[in-house]
Structure 1
Amino acid sequence: MNKRRAQYYIFTIFSLWFGSTFSCNATAVNRVDQIQVVTEPLPPYQIVKEGEVQGLVAEKVRKLLRELGSDSHTRAMPWARAYKTALTEPGTLIFSMVRTPAREELFHWLGVLVSTKTYLIALKKRDNIKLNDLEGLINYKTGVKRDDVVFHYLSKKDVLSKAILLPDTITTVKMLLRGRVDIIAASPIHLDYMCSQIGCKSSDFQFLLELDELSSDFYLAANKHMSPELVDLITNKLKKLAN
């Protein structure tokens, strides 16, 4: 192969590679406008005020959308509906999602937005409630948010025989304060915020048991059928924002 032919061959290969890469990136960019974003009210991470989703994590997602050049807005809804939407509708992003083995193959996991811990808690004045392990839950009315990670986790452990399914986390706290349930799951951060809204104090509660088997990372996740190019684009943008 002479020098001119070798140069032509190299130029052709490079052009094909560059064209393919540019095409993939262009395709991903074109699909940015097809993104929809769903979440639930989860103070202080996601707070709905005058129809707008605000809060620590919501702001991170808003910055990400700006970086992507997307004018999509986050819609807040009950968790069960948000989860079903992300599970069934291509182009959907969802937050804040805990990553578990049961969910692993159902979504693309794009990156961690925030970390927290979850405990089973009861009212401090209920000194008759004793919980040494998860099996003890079968003796109490447990308030759980429908279809959230705690619900799935405790269901698998077969300890929700007296479960009361509720629409959101703040309702579980209210039900606990009213004595309608004996035990709920919450993180200290959530509890502090919710008490600031409804007039309780974190000292009103006792922390019974940490659910340490659950991931403490809250993720941004995507519908499983989102294109690989768009998944890569969002993942890379999120990594840059975290640095």
Structure 2
Amino acid sequence: MKLPMFIVDAFTATAFRGNPAAVCLVENTLDEDSHQHIAREMNLSETAFIRKLQPTDNFTQKNTNNTLTFVTMSGELKARRAEDGIVLDFPLYPTSPQDLHEVEDLIKAAIGDVLVQDIQYSPDTKNLMVRLSDSYNRSFLETLKVNTEPLPRTEQTGKVKGLILTLKGEPGGRTPQYDFYSRYFAPWVGVAEDPVTGSTHTILGPYWSEELGKKEMRAFQCSRRGGELDISLRPDGRVDMKGGAAIVLEGTLTV
């Protein structure tokens, strides 16, 4: 069996940056073993398998709203093409203030005595969001040494499955300007640091919207690869995330 295969760098317009993911187009259902074998062969954090729900569907077909709808194991995902990227439609997830004393050991294990300005927790995603002091800048977040090795052994394991570090943007600083920065770590599920994470911005979006008084924001995830996201909060309680995409490999997989 020969399958069309792509590697796409998401949330960037430049190859070898952003979040790399493999995309495999399949005509018929593959068994779970085949999915796992292909994913291990790709050796990336994400491998997506796209199959038409109806034989008459076309992978490149557009509806009247220029939107493609994907039925995924995590629910329905809608994507539409914009002039300068692809827009993904996500739900928003609220957070609540987290008592420092309950997570102090986890935070100190990860980042030591770095100054913390706010701590929030998302029960829907089990992500702990730590906002660093406004006295720090982007370079500090980018070069911060984060120790993820001991985190799965902390007392908060079970409650926390991901750690978001975030920082307010720098007005009048670098060009282009960003409203906020972030990094994401999930050693609890085998991801030391994720290059760019769309799902964390379902938390970061509403948090920074309230802090900054803005509905439209530009974000940068400060991983080694780096990635840019345009965040737009909608009146219906959802969020649009726009980012670029660069196809860096296109070929045929023989199974």
TM-score bracket, shorter-length normalisation: under 0.3
Q: Which has the higher strand share?
A: 2
Rg larger for: 1
Q: Normalising by structure 2, report the TM-score.
A: 0.24
Higher RCO (CA 8 Å, separation ≥ 6 residues): 1
